[in-house]
């Protein structure tokens, strides 16, 4: 992808990684690829904001070269040091040898730990710090844990652009730059998936930060994240979505997530869903053997109810469910309704194992679990239906 002008003298110069399918190790399936966005501002001083993944240095420098000689860059702003954004750091330090680098103190420490080098000129910055680059003054805003302790935003009031790094990102490769150049429904679906899989554990921090930002009344026309499309037409809408997601505002949605061995737990899941449907609640069944975890997490982001089921194998959960509840614990999902169900042959154990995880989730209201031996009989199927129905009724009657 070439350099693209996003505003007068502001250019997108990042990379599209079309074939990247695993992000964060194997934790995030990026079915639409990934981008590592970077931006260049030409003013009295030339500023580069954010870098790209290792391996793309040449293409990155070629993109920059379409606008300016990289060795003439005066300022490099590092909003975040995770390797998807800092992989090209060593090359940029070398090529932009006269540039002054800006980032948080934690970014400085992290970069040195990762790469063992620092630029000759480094300025640590924090909220309320700013730099004048000619007609523009760039402002820095600490955003710790959005997504790492070092993270920050950079704001250009003259352009009304918020360079938000991981915030407001989506894993969406495209040969377009702006949100209104791609399918809006897919874009928001990818933004939700990204929030759920990357930022969900930090929702309360994000909520507080969004509140603080709204009080400063930043005038924002464009949100330029470090992943995916630039928000131009839908900047206000994605801000509203972030307010909703970070406030844990959910819909009358219920996810039934299970893994099964001889279809007994699956039969239970389907009967529970029948009960849910009888109350008119929205619901979806996810068999962990065929659904991707990344999509399931996206669905549960705004689901009031999350139900987990597994057959018992050697007195514990089946292995994909064991991995899922381990991952789920780390997401720090709060204030939902839930219960566990499953089948067993003799000793049992899966339902208990799931319940232990659910009991550790903040603000979870647990409904009675259902555990059945071998295969569910008519009476037990009726119990599953009633459990689904009662659960959905409770979901639909609460705010
Ligand atoms: Fe896109 Fe936290 O890195």
Question: How does DSSP classify residue 180?
Answer: G
The predicted structure's pLDDT at residue 16:
98
> What atom of ligand 1 comes closest to residue 198's alpha carbon?
2
What 3-state class would DSSP assign to 98?
coil
Cβ pair 321, 311 in contact under 8 A = no
First and final CA of the chain: distance in angstroms?
Answer: 46
Q: Following DSSP, what letter does each residue of 229-289 receive, concatenated?
A: -BBSTTHHHHHHHHHHHHTT--EEEEEEEEE-SSSHHHHHHHHHHHHHHHTT-EEEEEETT
The predicted structure's pLDDT at residue 26:
86
pTM of the model: 0.96
Residue 373 sits at φ, ψ, to 5 deg, of: -90, 140
The Cβ-side half-sphere exposure at 384, using a 13 Å CA radius, reads 28
Distance, in Å, from the CA atom of 167 to the CA atom of 225, rounded to the nearest integer, reads: 6
Spans of the chain below 50 pLDDT: none
Distance, in Å, from the CA atom of 40 to the CA atom of 92, rounded to the nearest integer, reads: 13
Cβ pair 205, 149 in contact under 8 A = no
Token output for 320: 């994909």
Which residue, among 18, 30, 139, has the nearest Cα to 79 in the 3D structure? 139
The predicted structure's pLDDT at residue 399:
67
Cβ pair 369, 355 in contact under 8 A = yes
Distance, in Å, from the CA atom of 304 to the CA atom of 254, rounded to the nearest integer, reads: 6
Superfamily of segment(s) 4-246: Ribonuclease Z/Hydroxyacylglutathione hydrolase-like (3.60.15.10)
Distance, in Å, from the CA atom of 351 to the CA atom of 339, rounded to the nearest integer, reads: 9
Show me where the domains of the chain are located: 4-246, 256-396
Cβ pair 313, 265 in contact under 8 A = no
Stated as kind and residue range, the H or E segment containing 391 is helix 378-397
Determine the distance separating the centroid of ligand 1 and the alpha carbon of 222, expressed in angstroms: 20
The predicted structure's pLDDT at residue 217:
74
Question: How does DSSP classify residue 201?
Answer: G
Determine the distance separating the centroid of ligand 1 and the alpha carbon of 143, expressed in angstroms: 13
Determine the distance separating the centroid of ligand 1 and the alpha carbon of 121, expressed in angstroms: 24
Distance, in Å, from the CA atom of 101 to the CA atom of 289, rounded to the nearest integer, reads: 47
Distance, in Å, from the CA atom of 264 to the CA atom of 255, rounded to the nearest integer, reads: 18
Token output for 309: 């089921």
- 17 CB near ligand 1 (under 6 Å): no
**CATH number attached to the domain at 256-396:** 3.40.50.360
The predicted structure's pLDDT at residue 214:
79
Residue holding tokens 């996206």? 298
Q: Which of 84, 91, 179, 190 is catalytic?
A: 84
- 80 CB near ligand 1 (under 6 Å): yes
227 catalytically annotated: yes
Protein residue with its CA nearest to atom 3 in ligand 1: 82
Token output for 114: 């990762």
Determine the distance separating the centroid of ligand 1 and the alpha carbon of 57, expressed in angstroms: 18
């Amino acid at each position: 992808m070439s350099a693209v002008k996003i505003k007068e003298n502001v250019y997108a110069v990042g990379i599209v990684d079309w074939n990247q399918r695993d992000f964060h190790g194997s934790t995030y399936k990026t079915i639409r690829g990934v981008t590592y966005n970077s931006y260049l501002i030409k003013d009295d001083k030339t500023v580069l904001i954010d870098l790209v993944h290792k391996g793309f240095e040449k293409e990155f420098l070629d993109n920059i070269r379409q606008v300016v000689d990289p060795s003439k860059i005066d300022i490099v702003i590092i909003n975040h040091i995770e390797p998807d954004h800092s992989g090209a750091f060593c090359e940029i330090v070398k090529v932009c040898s006269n540039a002054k680098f800006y980032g948080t103190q934690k970014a400085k420490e992290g970069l040195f730990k990762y790469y063992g080098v620092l630029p000759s000129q480094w300025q640590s910055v924090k909220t309320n710090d700013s730099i004048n680059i000619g007609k523009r003054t760039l402002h820095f805003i600490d955003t710790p844990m959005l997504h790492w302790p070092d993270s920050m935003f950079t704001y250009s009031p003259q352009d009304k652009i918020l360079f938000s790094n991981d915030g407001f990102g989506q894993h969406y490769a495209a040969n377009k730059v702006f949100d209104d150049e791609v399918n809006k429904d897919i874009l928001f679906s990818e933004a939700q998936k990204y929030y759920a899989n990357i930022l969900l554990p930090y929702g309360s921090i994000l909520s507080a930060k969004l509140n603080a930002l709204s009080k400063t009344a930043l005038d924002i026309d464009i949100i330029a994240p470090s992943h995916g499309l630039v928000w131009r037409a839908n900047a206000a809408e994605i801000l509203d979505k972030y307010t909703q997601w970070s406030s844990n505002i959910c819909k009358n949605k219920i996810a039934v997530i299970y893994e099964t061995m001889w279809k007994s737990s699956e039969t239970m899941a389907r009967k529970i869903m029948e009960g849910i449907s009888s109350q008119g609640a929205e619901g979806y069944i996810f068999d962990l053997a065929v659904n991707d975890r990344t999509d399931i997490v996206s669905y549960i982001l705004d689901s009031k109810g999350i139900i987990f089921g597994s057959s018992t194998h050697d007195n514990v959960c089946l292995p994909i469910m064991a991995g899922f509840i381990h991952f789920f614990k780390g997401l720090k999902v709060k204030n939902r309704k839930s219960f566990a169900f499953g089948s067993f042959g003799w000793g049992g154990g899966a339902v208990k194992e799931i319940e232990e995880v659910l009991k550790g989730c903040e603000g979870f209201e647990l409904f009675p679990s259902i555990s059945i031996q071998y295969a569910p009989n008519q009476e037990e199927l009726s119990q599953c239906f009633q459990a689904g129905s009662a659960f959905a009724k409770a979901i639909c009657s609460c705010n």
